[in-house]
Every structure is written in structure tokens, then in C-alpha cells.
Amino acid sequence: MATARQLLISFMILSLCAACESELSLLTSGQAEAFFSVQGEMDDLWVVGADQGSGPVVLQLQGEQGRNLSWTRHDTGHSGDIWWVQPFEQEVILVGSDGLILEYDRSSNSFQRINGPAAEITFFGVWGADSSDLWVVGGSLGADGNGSVWRRQDGQWAEHNEAVLTEAESGTLYFKVDGTAADDLWIVGSRGIAMHWDGTRLNPTETGAGSASLFTVKARAEGAVAVGGLGLATIVHRHGDSWVDYSPSFQPQVNGVCTGGNQLYAAGAQGSWHHFDPEAEAWTSTMELLTLQDYHACWADADGNLMMVGGHISANPFNEGVIAFMGPTNVPPPPGTP
């Protein structure tokens, strides 16, 4: 049996070799705000993050078929960290701390805050099959708090209530929501929670993650993938009616997961990131030492572009923002890059 020292040496060699072959490079680092989410398409890509006193960072990358790309920083006119974003054709939905739900109207270039959610709620995720049916998930970070799920149907926002939510343990948090259709979505959260919405109700499932949180989920036709951890990485894949553990060994926790074409990536702590090899049925892990900060989210497309965003995200102040990128498209550094 291999010794711990031999395993560590093997792990370091594999990581270094993977890093040598990778083309991931930093677009920016040391930004005043940490970045929490990146979503959209290459000609309409949104990066959002923390508020360090002058409003949350909201960046939009625009171009023409991947050419002449440029960044715009939007002033929302509101305060609070923004943890997730989902763009639609006519609007963009942004959610975050202090019960923040923002609707950005593209035609009027205006942000409207939704009234209703309690100020102690932090919303960590938003998703909808289209803008007519949106889900927002989060919870209160206080000791007596609990998870919160809000939904917009036909333009009206309301808290979503059903037994599986009201009966949850105290301190439960819901971190992300993602789906393939209005009647096929997943919500993941603390203590390995993963619930499936079938169009009628939320159905809890057993992930085997134990006390580890699941921070992000990516719904796919071939089965959802959820990532998280408690110090060490946790990655589980949905196969049929069960979750299967695919966690890579000797890796820090994983915060984000994304797909592009038939590629599957995950973003982790301490500058680590991962790529799934379908032939080997395993994750290949890379620690490139590009940054010592944590990646929180990733985005990829079918053209081979991959973006990782993060920073100092484990506790306030949420700063030292970092964006890394690889791919065939020429993406300029965002505004304010040192």
C-alpha cells in the first residue's frame, strides 16, 4: 500500500503536469471587490460580486460574435453584495445580501429592487427556464435563521412554501438552483441537501454528502452534478435515481460547476479547478498557483472558452477579486485592472 508521502508526491506531480498543459491565465487580480458569479454568453456575459461601499460590482462583457469585446460597469443604484445573476433577452435578474432581488430592464437601462424579502436573508442563487417562472434561493445567516425560497410567476414575486421547506432543520441554507426545464430543477444547500422540483413539489434526495454543504448544482439531461465540501472537495453526480460520489482526492472544497458543449468544469478553493474526463469517469484536478484566492464560480461555452471568478470569499471583507480565462476568444481585462 502506498504511503501518505508517496501519495502526496504523486498528487503534486499530476497537478504540476496538468498545470503545464493548461492555458488558463489571469485577466485580473487584486480587484477591490470579490467576484461571485459569471453567467450568460460570450457577447453578453455578466460578472457580479461584492459591494465595498460604492455599490455592488456588476460587469457586462459585450461584443459581436466574439469580436470587439469590451466591458461595461453598471451602477445599480442599490447597495449589497450580489451573489448570482441570470441574464435573459429583455432583462437580467441579480440577487444577493439584505434580501436583494434586482430586476434590470435592458430597454430602460434601469434596476428595480423587489420589496418583500426580509433584510436578514442572503440570496445565493437564481434560475429560471425563462423569465416567466423564476426561482431564487438563500437563507438567513443568523443562528436562528433558515432557508428561504422565492419565486416569480407571471411577474409576481412571492415566497414559496411547502412542507419540505418549513420542516427543514434550523440553520438550513439553500445555495443554488439550476434546471433543464420549468418542471425539472434542483435546489442544493447545507448538510448535503439536494431537492428536485418535478413541476408539482420539491422532492428531497439522499446525496451521501453528509454534513458537507453543496454550494452549486448544474442540471443536465444526462444527470445533475452538485459540488461543495467541508474543507475537502465533494462532487456528486446524479445517475438515474441516485447520487454517486465522484469527489477528487486531496483537493480543497469546490464552489462552482459549469458546462460548455460536452465539457464539464468545476471551480475550487485556493486557485484549484477541475475538468471531468468522461472516458476515465473521473475529475482531473489542477492547482496552477495563478492565485491563492478561491474561485467561486465558472462559465464555459461550446467554443472552448472558460472563465473562473472569485477572490477573498470566505469572510468579509469580500475583496481581492480575480478573473481567470482560457479559450480561443480574445477577452480584454475588465475596467480597474491593476
Decide if 34 contacts 21 (C-beta within 8 A).
no
Segment 153-196, tens digit of pLDDT: 999 999 999 999 988 888 899 999 999 999 999 999 999 999 99
Residue type, 181: A
Please identify which residue in the block is written with the cell numbers 469580500: 318
What Å distances lie between residue 288 and 23, 218, 259, 326, CA to CA? 10, 24, 21, 13
Give CA–CA dist 100/118, Å, rounded.
9
Q: Is the pTM of this model over 0.85?
A: yes
Helices vs. strands in the chain: H and E counts, helices first = 2, 28
Full pLDDT tens readout for the chain, 338 residues: 334 433 333 343 334 333 334 589 999 999 999 999 999 999 999 999 999 999 999 999 999 988 999 999 999 999 999 999 999 999 999 999 999 999 999 999 999 999 999 999 999 999 999 999 999 999 998 766 789 999 999 999 999 999 999 888 888 999 999 999 999 999 999 999 999 999 999 999 999 999 999 999 999 999 999 999 999 999 999 999 999 999 999 999 999 999 999 999 999 999 999 999 999 999 999 877 899 999 999 999 999 999 999 999 999 999 999 999 999 999 999 988 87
The CATH homologous superfamily for domain 22-326 is YVTN repeat-like/Quinoprotein amine dehydrogenase (2.130.10.10)
CA dihedral 322, 324, 329, 335 (to 10 degrees): 10
Please state whether the peptide bond connecting residue 278 to the residue before it is cis, i.e. omega within 30 degrees of 0: no
The values of phi and psi at residue 61, to 5°, are -100, 125
Lookup result for grid cell 465558472: 298
Mind giving me the DSSP string for 187-244? EEEGGG-EEEE-SS-EEEE--S-TT-EEEEEE--TT--EEEEEESEEEEEEEETTEEE
